[in-house]
Amino acid sequence: MVLDHLRHVDNLLSPDIDFYFNTISRCVAPMFAFLVVEGLIHTSNLRRYLNRLFLFSAVTFIGNYMLTMVLGNQRLLNSNVLFTLSLGAFGIVLSMWGKEQKKRGLYVFAMICFIAGFLFAEWGTVLIPFMISTYFFRDKPIYKYSGYIITGVIAFLIPFSEPLWFIVFPYIFMYNGKRGYDTVFSKYFFYVFYPVHLWVLAVINYMM
């Protein structure tokens, strides 16, 4: 994640290093999306999980906006992948509730979340279909991997998408399905680290 965003600090990296850093970091956002889906499956409190996602998405947005007012336009301050993950997670949860409560209206709102995330959110053309395939077809490998193939085709066809997102799969295949460390630090570290590292790099770029 840090390696990817270093390229937004002007004159910091040579073109060759920038290319390699950008390439190897294409797995980060899909890995976050995969872990969010795993969180939805295993969390004991869906509402609290969603609230946490949207809270830190809002914190990132507000911090980005305030720093933009101070530093001027910085490319790093246009980034908020937590919002994309929040929309995808919210759409999945609305679908779950729609099925449980047999309310079609919730399915409509879920589709609105998915479409909005796909069309307007950062990494949306990849993360939204990836999250949909990972969650809804988690017990149907043929459908799940077909969904991944479709996601890959979309990523190659849509301009400004992320065609190298599939390098996340070696890391996913190494996942043993077991819960890792369950501490306050492990739960909140990346929620905090994501916006903070953007802000630090934006300040460094402004100073340079």
Q: Does the pLDDT of residue 178 top 90, yes or no? A: no
Q: Does the pLDDT of residue 180 top 90, yes or no? A: no
Number of separate domains in the chain: 1
CB-CB contact of 194 with 60 (8 Å) = yes
Burial of 80 (0-12, 13-18, 19+ CB in 10 A): buried
Measured distance CA(16)–CA(10) in Å, rounded: 15
Which pLDDT belongs to residue 133? Answer: 98
Residue 72 phi, psi (nearest 5): 85, -175
Q: Does the pLDDT of residue 182 top 90, yes or no? A: no
Q: Does the pLDDT of residue 70 top 90, yes or no? A: yes
Which pLDDT belongs to residue 151? Answer: 97
Cα dihedral angle (38, 41, 44, 48), rounded to 10 degrees?
Answer: 70
Query: What is the distance, to the nearest Å, from the Cα of residue 100 to the centroid of all Cα atoms in its chain?
Result: 26
- Residue 134: pLDDT band (50, 70, 90) is very high
Which pLDDT belongs to residue 167? Answer: 96
Average pLDDT over residues 116-120: 97
Q: The pTM is what? A: 0.94
Q: 137 lies in which domain range?
A: 2-207
Average pLDDT over residues 119-147: 97
Q: Does the pLDDT of residue 98 top 90, yes or no? A: yes
- Residue 187: pLDDT band (50, 70, 90) is confident
Which pLDDT belongs to residue 38? Answer: 95
Q: Does the pLDDT of residue 47 top 90, yes or no? A: yes
Helix, strand, coil share (%) of the chain residues, nearest 5? 80, 0, 20
